[in-house]
Amino acid sequence: MEVFIDAGSIGTTTADGSGNWSYDHTGTTLADGSYAITAAATDASGNTSSTSGALNITVDTAAPSVSSYSPANGETSVVFSSNLVMTFDDSVYVSTGNVVIRRYIDDSIVETIDITSGQVTGGGTANITINPTTDFIGGRQYYVEVDAGALLDLAGNEYAGISGNATWNFTTANTALSSSTPADESSGIALDTDITFVFNESVSANVGNIAVKRVSDDVVFETIDVAVASITGDGTNTITVSLSDSLVPNTAYYIEIEAGAFVNGDSVAFSGFTGNSTLNFTTVNVSIPTVTNVTSSIADGTYVSGNTIPVQVVFSETVTVSGTPRIQLDLDGADKYVNYVSGSGSNTLQFDYLVGTGDSSSDLGYVSTASLTLNGGSIRSAN
């Protein structure tokens, strides 16, 4: 038997009585690449057969190598929720070993991930994705190590791995405000709105103030001390602040947050912001209803104890009423009150005065323009 590699003869061997044969080529090293092995038989009379069909083999002794990392080595402003992705020059498969994420500053271990766990995906492809258990912390530098032999190519060649902080390190973005309610430059904001800040990572209240100011003159509407004020969402990425008073209609406001008012999980302070260009908004344009007339639907006359005198208060627009507003009347120096009865949802409210024993007045009237009081209720524009 004569044996050929890529049509070049590499030697001969003899078949046994059953036609079985082998050829030992272990003394020769083949370079990486693809080869076709064939053979031809010659009998005792010197007759030579046709060349056999080819046995195609591939020699691969090169260890797999990484062509790129994500995040890239040395990258900054990395998103906290990023996965780690290694792109190889060939398909690789998981073997045994760990991926270790460390802090750059002190080499402390953040997380150790078994290469065979569900946190590592992409085996059998050129892209290996590593999903850390928790998000990274803002403004922190990390590096990644991978055990040698944790990944193999199809030929069984081991990936050399990563050791130390020079091959794959990155820095996460600083704590920042992602969005807010009200949003910057928004309008039509309700007067009783809460203020919600959504950060790019979890934060905790520290030391400092949140200020709500008027754009027109920079006057402070309210200052909230984050250390003592009632806020919700502490320790999450969403902080909600409730104002102690309603905002003024059709007014432009802006918000400032002092540096250090919030810190991330690494106690790194949020830088905050000042001025009216970062977060400003305008409240809803609500008109303020005014009284245009006070009258009664009954005729002039004399009324006695037990009679009801309806008093109508006409407003400049449709109003809604809650509670029991009232009007203070002047009965020859004696103060009496007439209570709201009906009319919410219209521009005319009715107040009924029940004449009492001893009540006397030649001209039933209210005490002053301030006689209409809310009495714990409200009269609001329906608009």
232-288: pLDDT as tens digits:
999 999 999 999 999 999 999 999 999 999 999 888 899 999 999 999 999 998 778
Tokens 């999980």 sit at which residue?
265
Q: In Å, how far from its chain's centre is CA 121?
A: 25
Note the CATH number of domain 177-283: 2.60.40.1220
Note the CATH number of domain 66-172: 2.60.40.1220
The residues spanned by each domain of the chain are 2-59, 66-172, 177-283, 291-381
Q: What is the pLDDT of residue 61?
A: 83
Question: Pick from 164, 143, 256: which is nearest to 209 by CA?
Answer: 256
Same CATH topology for 66-172 and 177-283: the answer is yes
Largest Cα–Cα separation, the chain:
151
Cut 0.85: pTM above it: no
How many Cβ atoms from other residues are within 10 Å of residue 18's Cβ? 6
Q: What is the pLDDT of residue 101?
A: 99
Per-residue pLDDT tens over the stretch 76-130: 999 999 999 999 999 999 999 999 999 999 999 999 999 999 999 999 999 999 9
In the predicted model, residues of the chain with pLDDT beneath 50 are: none
**Residues whose CB is less than 8 angstroms from the CB of residue 97 and which lie 6 or more positions away in sequence, other chains included:** 115, 146, 147, 148, 149, 150, 151, 161
Q: How far apart are CA 40 and CA 13, in angstroms?
A: 11
3-state secondary structure string across the chain: CEEEECCEEEEECCCCCCCCCCCCCCCCCCCCEEEEEEEECECCCCCECCCCCCEEEEECCCCCCEEEEECCCCEEEECCCCCEEEEEEEEEEECCCEEEEEECCCCCEEEEEECCCCCEECCCEEEEEECCCCCCCCCCEEEEEECCCCEEECCCCECCCECCCCCCEEEECCCCEEEEECCCCEEEECCCCCEEEEECCCCEECCCEEEEEECCCCCEEEEEECCCCCEECCCCCEEEECCCCCCCCCCEEEEEECCCCEECCCCCECCCECCCCCCEEEECCCCCCCEEEEECCCCCCCCCCCCEEEEEEEEEEEEEEECCCEEEEEECCEEEEEEEEECCCEEEEEEEEECCCCCCCCCCEECCCCCEECCCCEEEECC
Q: How far apart are CA 145 and CA 111, in angstroms?
A: 11
Q: How far apart are CA 220 and CA 319, in angstroms?
A: 30
**Residues whose CB is less than 8 angstroms from the CB of residue 216 and which lie 6 or more positions away in sequence, other chains included:** 251, 252
Q: What is the pLDDT of residue 333?
A: 67
